[in-house]
Each structure stands twice: as C-alpha cells, then as structure tokens.
Chain A
C-alpha cells in the first residue's frame, strides 16, 4: 500500500517529522495536504525547500492528494501524509482515499482553538473531537503517538474516557 502513515500535525514538516518519522517509517514521499497551505505559494515553496534528502515532498489540496494516492503512479511509494487539522483527515476520507485504516493524531497547538489538553503539544476543541468522531465512525482507527519511541495509543478510547460530554 502506498500510503504508509497519515498524521495530523499543525507544524507540518518539522524536526520530528523530517528526522524521526521519515526514517522510522522509511518514507519515500511526504505529502502535505491542506487546502489553505496548498494555495499559499510562499509556504509551499518553503516546505519544498526544506525537504530532507532522499525524499520527495509535495504540497497538495485534499482533492489532489486523494487523486494522487489512488493512482498507479504512487503505488510503489511509501507515502507519509501530513495534515494540518482533523478536518483535513475527514476530507481525505470523504473524497475516497483508498486503503486507509488509521490516522495518527500528533501536534495540535494550544493556541489554535479553545481546546483541552490531552498531552504536551496536543490540545483539541469540541469541534475537533466531533470531526475525529466522524473519522472514527467511518471505521478508521485513531492513534496517538507523538514520536516513534512512544507506544501508539488507542486515541478514540482516550477521547471517550476524557471528554464523554463532547461526543455526539
């Protein structure tokens, strides 16, 4: 399967992703997918200019990301998809990203919205939780794992325990 890992991280490609996740998962292609970022020429240029060596980097709208990942051209790649916010994940699923089994929730900064703290570097609002619920309801497993050395955690289970009132 081409898509190896889907990660929600509002810092996009940064030290943890470029140095830790890329190597750990032996990634050949990192796709940053968020409509706003994809339409920002400056940010797209910066993201491409910092590509770690030996890896292809693309910045795509969610529609273009799904098209690419579902096509033959990508089938031999090991793709890491980086999303800015939970809604990007829901968009990929609704637009028909093939073969997706799980989504990992990484960094979401405290100041992005009025969220509650799940751990250092991960804050989610009620709206985020409901978007994650929609992802969960489509049969996608939600994982939390900040860095490869952390054990993966069943994140939906944690949400149910921590914020039961926020679930519809």
Chain B
C-alpha cells in the first residue's frame, strides 16, 4: 500500500487526518506533518525523513499532499523527492478532502496501483470543486 503524507502550514494536516479518520476509521497509511512558524526548512526536511524511513520494499511508494504550490511544505517535499530517487514520490499541491478521501479509497482497494492512484488524486481534487449558486440566469 502507498503511504499518504500530508504536509501543511500549521495544524491543517492533522485536521485532515482527524476528519478522514472520523469518516473511515483509524488509518495506518496516512501521516501528517506540520510546519510551525518557528521551524526552518531543514527541520521540516528531517521530519519528512523520519516519517518516510524505509522499512520494507513494499513501502517505498509515497504520495505527499501539500497545501500550497510554491510554499515551504511544497518546496521542501520537492527537495526530499529529488534527493530520494530510490523511493517513488509524487507531490500533489492544493490538497482537499475529496482528493484525500478518494486516494484513501483507491489505496485500500488497489494497494499496488500507484500510477493510477496519483492520477485519481489529481482528478478527484479538481472534480471535488463544484459550484451551486442561487443567482438567476444572467444575473451578476
């Protein structure tokens, strides 16, 4: 099974895990890391290293979900990915709950299907944004 790792500014990542587990129950394939105000990129890098330490060959596929493209969690995760090419690491920015929920479902049903999993994350994250409004046609 792939690992899902959430990294965000502040405690948002823990909030996502808390919410996911409220819906699906306790998970062992989902991890959360926060970047706190006083922490450097180097500290965040070490936190990622600790969570993703390899235990077995099956466990070297990872999807990292971050809050914002181009911000510190994204930047540090990218550096980690470039420097750990023995693992398969994909980073998706703009994490949302539909994305996380579908990733969890597919990861559980098809634990070996990493490539599809990444694509599902992208698609469901985008499809999860749906507009409903109360304006009449043509109204601004």
Q: Does A98 contact B (CB under 8 A)?
A: no
The answer to whether A10 has its CB under 8 Å from any CB of chain B is: yes
B39 near A111: Cβ-Cβ < 8 Å:
yes
5 nearest interchain CB pairs? A109-B40, A15-B71, A50-B70, A110-B38, A14-B72
Q: How far is the CA of A14 from the CA of B39 in the complex (A)?
A: 13
- Asked whether A18 is an interface residue with its Cβ less than 8 Å from the other chain, the reply is yes
The reply to whether the CB of B101 lies closer than 8 angstroms to some CB of chain A is no
Given the complex of chains A and B, what is the CA–CA distance between A10 and B70 in angstroms? 15
Whether B41 pairs with A11 at a CB distance below 8 angstroms is yes
A-B contact pairs, 21 of them (CB 8 A): A10-B40, A11-B40, A11-B72, A11-B75, A12-B41, A14-B71, A42-B83, A43-B79, A45-B82, A50-B74, A50-B78, A52-B70, A109-B38, A109-B43, A110-B39, A110-B40, A111-B38, A111-B39, A111-B43, A121-B38, A123-B38
Interchain CB contact (< 8 A) of A10 among B37, B41, B69: B41
Cβ–Cβ contact B69 & A50, under 8 A: yes
Within the complex, what minimum Cβ distance (angstroms) separates A14 from chain B?
Answer: 4
Set of chain B residues within 8 Å of A42, measured between Cβ atoms = 79, 82-83
Interfacial chain A residues near B20, Cβ < 8 Å: none
How far is it, in angstroms, between the C-alpha of A43 and the C-alpha of B83 when the chains are bound? Answer: 10
| B124, CB-defined interface residue at 8 Å | no
The interface of chain A, by Cβ under 8 A from chain B, is 10-15, 18, 42-43, 45-47, 49-52, 109-112, 120-121, 123
B12 CB → nearest A CB, Å = 13
Of B37, B41, B43, B70, the contact of A15 (CB 8 Å cutoff)? B70
B122 to chain A, nearest CB (A): 17
Chain A residues in 8 Å Cβ range of B70: 13-15, 18, 50-52
A76 CB, nearest partner CB in chain B, Å: 25
Residue of B37, B42, B82 touching A111 (CB-CB under 8 A): B42
Size of interface on B: residues with Cβ below 8 Å to A: 19
Contact of B106 with A by CB under 8 A: no
- With A15-B9, A43-B79: A112-B71 Cβ-Cβ less than 8 Å: no
Residues in chain A near residue B87, CB distance under 8 A: none
**Contact yes or no, B37 A120, CB < 8 A:** yes
Residues on B with C-beta less than 8 A from A51 are 70
In the complex, chain B residues 66-99 whose Cβ is within 8 Å of any chain A Cβ? 68-72, 74-75, 78-79, 82-83
Q: Which of chain A's residues has its CB closest to B77's CB?
A: A46
- Given A14-B70, A112-B42, 10 other A-B residues pairs in contact with their CB atoms under 8 A: A10-B40, A15-B68, A42-B82, A46-B75, A46-B78, A46-B82, A51-B70, A111-B38, A121-B37, A123-B38
Closest to A16 in B: B71
A10 shortest CB reach to chain B, Å: 6
From residue B125, how far is it (CB to closest CB) to chain A in Å?
Answer: 19
- Taking each of B38, B43, B83, which has the highest tally of chain A beta carbons within 10 Å of its own beta carbon? B38
